C-alpha cells in the first residue's frame, strides 16, 4: 500500500462516503428533490443515477407505500423502473436518507412466488396432457371424433405450458436491451391478427372487433406481439360468459394510442393499482376458475417502458376493462 497517499481536499466527503457504501444514499434538497444519489441507490431502484437527480423522493414511491422516507427510521416501499414494489428500510439524518433493500426477504418471496406459480401453472396442463394421452393409449378404438377432441386438448395444454415457460424466461431479462432488440414499423391490425393465431378462443363467444385502420407502431415486433397476445388473452379469459372485445387505435404526429376493451368481469378498485406487479393475481369471485401466472401484465408493462410508452387500465367490476397503450412516434 502506498503510505504516502494523501486524501485530496477536493473530494466531497459525502460523495466519497456514498461511493464506497453498499447502502443506497441520497441527499434531499428543497421540495424533497434529490440533490445527489450514489450508485447503490440507482442500482437498488434500477435507475440511471443521473436521471434521479431533481426528481422528488415521493416520485420514487410505490402506490402501496405507507412509510415516510424522511422519518428518522421507517419501512418504505419504493418502485423500480418497471413499477415493481421495492421494500426497504430507511434512515434519515438531516438531509441524508440511506436505505438498504430487504434482500433476503425479497429473494425468499420471489422463490415462494415462483414455486407456487410453477406448481400450479405448470402442473395443471401437465396433468391434463398426461390424463388425455393415457386415455388415448388405453382406448385405441375410441370414437374418432373423441380422439380428435382429446388431441386438441393435449395440443392446447402443451401450448399453454410453452407460453408459461416463455413468460418465465422473459421475466429473467426484462431490461431494455432484451425487450427492444430490433425496431420495425408494424400495423396494429397485423399485431392483432398474429396474436390471435396463438390464442385458442371461440370467435362466436368472443367476437373481436378491430377498429385500428392503418395505425402502426414502431417497435420490436416479437415483443409487441407479446403485448397484444397477453391483453387479448386476458380480455377473453376474464369474460367467461362471452362478450365483444374491441381493439381501437389512433395515430397522430406524437403518439399511437391503442385501446383493448372487454365487457368481462372487471377489476375491483383495490386490486387495480397492483395488476402490473410481478406475480400479482386478483382473485375474482366472478371468474374463480380462471388460472394464470400473474406475469402477463408485468411483461406487458416492461415492454411498454422499453418502448418509451405507457399502459393504463380502467375498469369497473362487472362492467369490463379497458387497457390503454400509448406509444411515442419515432
Ligand atoms: P394472469 O396470469 O393472472 O392473468 P396478468 O398479469 O395477465 O396475470 O393479470 C394480472 C391480474 O389482473 C389478473 O390476475 C386479473 O385479476 C387482472 N386482469 C388482467 N386483465 C384483466 C381483464 N381484461 N379483465 C379482468 N381482470 C383482468
Q: Is the CB of 320 under 6 A from ligand 1?
A: no
pLDDT of residue 246: 98
Mean pLDDT for 161-189 is: 82
Mutate to test the pocket of ligand 1, among 120, 231, 238 (most ligand atoms within 8 A of CB): 238
Cell of 66: 405507507
Cell of 88: 426497504
Q: Which residues contact 216 (CB under 8 A, 6 or more apart)?
A: 185, 186, 187, 188, 251, 256
Cα 121 to middle of ligand 1, angstroms: 14
- pLDDT digits 0-9 by tens, 263-273: 999 999 988 98
Percent of the chain with pLDDT over 70: 92
- pLDDT digits 0-9 by tens, 183-228: 999 999 999 999 999 888 999 999 999 999 999 999 999 999 999 9
pLDDT exceeds cutoff 80 at 78: yes
pLDDT of residue 262: 98
Cα 234 to middle of ligand 1, angstroms: 6
Cα 214 to middle of ligand 1, angstroms: 28
- pLDDT digits 0-9 by tens, 2-44: 455 555 567 787 788 888 888 899 999 999 999 999 989 998 8
Cell of 270: 383495490
Beta bridge partners of 25: 98
In ligand 1, the atom with minimum distance to the C-alpha of 235 is: 23
Cα 231 to middle of ligand 1, angstroms: 9
Mutate to test the pocket of ligand 1, among 259, 267, 300, 303 (most ligand atoms within 8 A of CB): 267
Which has the closest alpha carbon to 329: 259, 258, 255?
A: 255
CA distance 245 to 126: 30
Which has the closest alpha carbon to 301: 324, 319, 284?
A: 324
CA distance 290 to 146: 25
Q: How are strands ordered across the β-sheet holding 245-251?
A: 208-211, 245-251, 255-261, 320-328, 310-316
Residue pair 115/158 in contact by the 8 Å Cβ criterion = no
Q: DSSP string spanning 60-87?
A: GB-TT--S-TTSSEEEEEEE-TTS-EEE
Q: Is the CB of 235 under 6 A from ligand 1?
A: yes
Q: Is the CB of 267 under 6 A from ligand 1?
A: yes
Mutate to test the pocket of ligand 1, among 266, 275, 283, 298 (most ligand atoms within 8 A of CB): 275
Which has the closest alpha carbon to 45: 2, 114, 115, 101?
A: 101
Distances from the Cα of 294 to the Cαs of 31, 228, 304, 305, in angstroms?
37, 16, 17, 18
Cα 262 to middle of ligand 1, angstroms: 12
Q: Is 28 exposed, middle or buried (0-12, 13-18, 19+ CB in 10 A)?
A: buried
Cell of 139: 382406448
- pLDDT digits 0-9 by tens, 226-282: 999 999 999 999 999 999 999 999 999 999 999 999 999 999 998 898 898 887 888
Residue pair 70/32 in contact by the 8 Å Cβ criterion = yes
pLDDT of residue 329: 93
Calculate the average pLDDT of the chain: 87
Cα 275 to middle of ligand 1, angstroms: 7
pLDDT of residue 240: 94
Q: Which residues contact 278 (CB under 8 A, 6 or more apart)?
A: 84, 113, 171, 294, 295, 298
Which has the closest alpha carbon to 311: 270, 278, 276, 272?
A: 276
Cα 41 to middle of ligand 1, angstroms: 31
Cα 30 to middle of ligand 1, angstroms: 40
Q: HSE, CB side, 13 Å, CA atoms: give it for residue 157.
A: 19
Cell of 176: 431494455
How much is the pTM? 0.66
Amino acid at each position: 500500500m502506498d503510505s504516502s497517499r494523501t486524501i485530496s481536499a477536493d473530494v466531497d466527503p459525502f460523495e466519497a462516503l456514498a461511493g464506497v457504501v453498499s447502502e443506497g444514499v441520497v441527499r434531499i434538497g428543497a421540495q424533497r428533490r434529490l440533490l445527489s444519489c450514489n450508485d447503490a441507490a440507482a442500482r437498488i431502484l434500477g435507475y440511471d443515477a443521473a436521471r434521479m437527480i431533481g426528481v422528488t423522493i415521493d416520485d420514487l414511491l410505490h402506490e402501496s407505500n405507507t412509510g415516510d422516507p424522511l422519518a428518522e427510521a421507517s419501512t418504505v416501499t419504493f418502485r423500480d423502473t418497471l413499477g415493481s414494489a421495492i421494500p426497504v428500510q430507511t434512515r434519515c439524518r438531516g438531509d441524508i436518507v440511506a436505505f438498504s433493500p430487504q434482500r433476503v426477504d425479497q429473494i425468499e418471496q420471489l422463490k415462494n412466488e415462483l414455486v407456487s406459480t410453477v406448481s400450479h401453472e405448470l402442473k395443471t396442463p401437465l396433468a391434463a396432457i398426461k390424463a388425455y394421452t393415457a386415455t388415448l393409449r388405453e382406448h385405441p378404438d375410441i370414437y374418432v371424433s373423441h380422439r380428435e377432441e382429446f388431441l386438441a386438448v393435449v395440443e392446447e395444454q402443451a401450448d399453454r405450458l410453452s407460453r408459461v415457460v416463455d413468460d418465465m424466461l422473459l421475466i429473467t431479462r426484462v431490461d431494455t436491451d432484451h425487450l427492444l432488440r430490433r425496431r420495425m414499423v408494424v400495423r396494429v391490425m397485423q399485431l392483432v391478427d398474429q396474436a390471435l393465431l396463438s390464442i385458442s378462443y371461440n370467435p362466436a363467444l368472443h367476437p373481436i372487433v378491430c377498429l385500428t385502420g392503418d395505425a402502426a407502431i414502431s417497435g420490436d415486433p416479437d415483443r409487441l406481439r407479446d403485448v397484444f397476445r397477453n391483453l387479448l388473452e386476458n380480455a377473453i379469459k376474464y369474460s367467461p360468459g362471452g362478450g365483444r372485445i374491441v381493439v381501437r387505435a389512433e395515430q397522430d404526429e406524437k403518439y399511437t394510442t391503442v385501446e383493448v376493451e372487454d365487457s368481462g368481469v372487471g377489476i375491483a378498485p383495490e386490486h387495480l393499482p397492483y395488476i402490473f406487479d410481478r406475480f400479482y393475481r386478483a382473485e375474482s369471485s366472478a371468474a374463480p376458475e380462471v388460472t394464470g401466472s400473474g406475469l402477463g401484465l408485468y411483461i406487458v408493462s416492461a415492454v411498454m417502458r422499453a418502448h418509451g410508452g405507457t399502459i393504463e387500465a380502467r375498469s369497473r367490476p362487472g362492467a369490463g376493462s379497458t387497457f390503454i397503450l400509448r406509444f411515442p412516434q419515432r
